[in-house]
C-alpha cells in the first residue's frame, strides 16, 4: 500500500453518518459503499445496486466476538444481497466495491474476489467465512493490472470507512525501514511487539506465561486472553502461551497483561533492545515537547 497524500470524499445519501456511506478517492473511478443491513432495502433502490460488483459481508461471531468476513462477486448485486439477507445471519454491514464508470466486467470481479480472499486471509484481522480461497482465475495481463489498482483503491477506501480488512496489524519490514520492536522478558515470557497507530501488536512466535494470577481470572484482559485462545490465535503448549499470529491490542498494558497473565503497566513493561521503556520513548518525548 502506497502511503501518499490522498483526498477522499464521503457522501451520506441519507444524511446520517451511521447510515449509508459512499466513499471515493476523487481522482479514481472506484467507489466503496457501506450498507448497514437494516438499510439494505434503501440501497437496493439506488442505481449503484445494479452494477457488477465485488462485495464483503462483515460482522461478529456471536460466540467469541471475533470479526468475520465473507467475500463475493456478482453481476446481479440486488439479487445476491437479497439472498444473503435471507440466508446468512452473521453480517451487519455489506461493503460494496463498484466503478463509477460502470467499467467492471465479470472477468474483473472474478479476479478481485480471489485477490480479496487471499489478502483478507493474509491480514488475518477477520475470520474468513469463504470455505476456501479457490484458484487464481485466468486474467489477461492488462486486466490484472487494472484489478491490482482497483484493489489498492478499494483497500484504502474500506480502511477509511473503518474496515481495515486487508491491512496487516504489524508493519512488515522493508528494504529501507525496519519496524521499531519492543520486548517483554519478565520471568516466563519472551514476547516481541510493535507500537502502532492502532495500538500495540504482539508478534507471532512470542511466548507468554501459561498460568495466570488468581486476580486475573475474570479480569477484562483475562477474558480477552481466553477469547484469543478459543479463537486459536493463542495456544497453550508445554507450559507456555504461544502467539500463533500477530495480535493487536488497544493498549500496551492490554498486550503485556495477556503476555504475563497478570495486570501490568505495559508502558514500563515493554522495552527496546537497549532497555529503554516505551514510556520513555513515546510519552517522554511528548511531555518534553510541550514544556
Model confidence pLDDT, tens digit, residues 217-254: 888 899 999 989 988 899 999 889 999 999 999 999 99
Q: Mean pLDDT over residues 5-28, rounded? A: 95
Q: pLDDT: is 291 or 283 the higher one? A: 283
Q: Which of 41-45, 82-86, 133-137 has the lowest mean pLDDT?
A: 133-137
Q: Please determine, for residue 64, whether its predicted confidence score (pLDDT) is greater than 90.
A: no
**Cα separation of 74 and 53, whole Å?**
6
Check if the beta carbon of residue 159 is closer than 8 Å to that of residue 97. no
The percent of residues in the chain predicted with pLDDT above 90, rounded, is 74
pLDDT of residue 186: 86
β 67-74/21-25 pair status: unpaired
Q: Please determine, for residue 133, whether its predicted confidence score (pLDDT) is greater than 80.
A: no
Burial class of residue 264, CB neighbours in 10 A (0-12, 13-18, 19+): buried
Of the chain, the end-to-end C-alpha distance in Å amounts to: 36
Grid look-up 470524499 returns 9
Q: Please determine, for residue 286, whether its predicted confidence score (pLDDT) is greater than 70.
A: no
**Cα separation of 83 and 57, whole Å?**
12
pLDDT of residue 252: 95
- Written as nine digits, the cell of 18 is 451511521
At residue 159 the predicted structure's pLDDT band, cuts being 50, 70 and 90, is very high
pLDDT of residue 63: 66
Q: Mean pLDDT over residues 137-142, rounded? A: 93
Q: Please determine, for residue 196, whether its predicted confidence score (pLDDT) is greater than 80.
A: yes
**Cα separation of 48 and 52, whole Å?**
9
Q: Mean pLDDT in the chain? A: 90
Of 117, 109, 113, 111, the closest CA to residue 165 belongs to: 117
**Cα separation of 58 and 165, whole Å?**
9
Q: Mean pLDDT over residues 99-107, rounded? A: 94
pLDDT of residue 231: 86
Grid look-up 467499467 returns 103
At residue 116 the predicted structure's pLDDT band, cuts being 50, 70 and 90, is very high
Helices (H), the chain: 40-43, 77-87, 106-123, 141-160, 220-230, 252-260, 266-269, 278, 284-289
Q: Please determine, for residue 291, whether its predicted confidence score (pLDDT) is greater than 50.
A: no
Q: Please determine, for residue 118, whether its predicted confidence score (pLDDT) is greater than 90.
A: yes
Of 33, 72, 280, 276, the closest CA to residue 157 belongs to: 33
Of 34, 162, 36, the closest CA to residue 91 belongs to: 36
pLDDT of residue 173: 58
pTM for this model (two decimals): 0.81
Q: pLDDT: is 130 or 255 the higher one? A: 255
Burial class of residue 213, CB neighbours in 10 A (0-12, 13-18, 19+): middle
Rg of the chain over all Cα atoms, to the nearest angstrom: 21
At residue 94 the predicted structure's pLDDT band, cuts being 50, 70 and 90, is very high
- Written as nine digits, the cell of 1 is 500500500
- Written as nine digits, the cell of 147 is 484489478
- Written as nine digits, the cell of 170 is 504489524
At residue 1 the predicted structure's pLDDT band, cuts being 50, 70 and 90, is low
Angle at the Cα of 229 (from 244 to 242), degrees rounded to 5? Answer: 35
Q: Mean pLDDT over residues 57-76, rounded? A: 88
Amino acid at each position: 500500500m502506497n502511503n501518499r497524500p490522498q483526498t477522499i470524499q464521503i457522501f451520506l445519501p441519507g444524511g446520517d453518518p451511521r447510515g449509508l456511506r459512499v466513499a471515493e478517492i476523487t481522482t479514481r473511478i472506484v467507489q466503496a459503499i457501506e450498507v448497514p443491513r437494516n438499510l439494505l432495502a434503501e440501497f437496493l433502490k439506488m442505481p449503484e445496486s445494479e452494477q457488477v460488483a465485488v462485495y464483503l459481508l462483515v460482522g461478529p461471531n456471536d460466540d467469541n466476538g471475533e470479526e468475520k468476513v465473507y467475500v463475493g462477486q456478482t453481476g446481479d448485486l440486488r439479487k445476491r444481497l437479497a439472498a444473503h439477507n435471507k440466508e446468512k445471519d452473521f453480517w451487519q454491514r455489506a461493503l460494496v466495491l463498484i466503478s463509477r464508470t460502470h467499467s467492471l466486467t465479470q472477468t474483473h470481479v472474478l479476479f478481485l474476489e480471489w485477490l480479496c480472499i487471499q489478502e483478507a486471509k493474509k491480514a488475518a484481522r477477520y475470520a474468513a467465512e469463504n470455505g476456501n480461497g479457490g484458484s487464481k482465475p485466468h486474467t489477461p495481463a492488462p486486466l490484472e493490472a487494472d484489478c491490482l489498482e482497483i484493489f489498492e483503491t478499494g483497500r484504502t477506501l474500506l480502511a477509511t470507512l473503518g474496515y481495515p480488512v486487508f491491512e496487516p496489524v504489524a508493519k512488515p519490514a522493508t528494504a529501507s525501514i525496519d519496524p521499531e520492536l519492543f520486548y517483554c522478558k519478565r520471568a516466563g515470557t519472551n514476547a516481541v511487539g510493535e507500537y502502532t497507530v492502532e495500538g500495540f501488536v504482539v508478534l507471532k512466535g512470542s511466548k507468554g506465561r501459561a498460568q495466570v494470577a488468581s486476580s486475573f481470572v475474570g479480569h477484562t484482559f483475562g477474558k480477552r486472553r481466553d477469547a484469543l485462545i478459543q479463537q486459536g490465535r493463542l495456544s497453550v503448549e508445554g507450559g507456555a502461551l504461544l502467539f500463533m499470529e500477530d495480535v493487536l491490542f488497544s493498549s500496551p498494558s492490554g498486550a503485556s497483561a495477556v503476555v504475563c497473565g497478570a495486570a501490568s503497566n505495559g508502558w514500563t513493561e515493554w522495552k527496546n533492545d537497549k532497555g529503554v521503556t516505551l514510556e520513555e520513548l513515546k510519552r517522554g518525548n511528548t511531555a518534553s515537547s510541550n514544556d
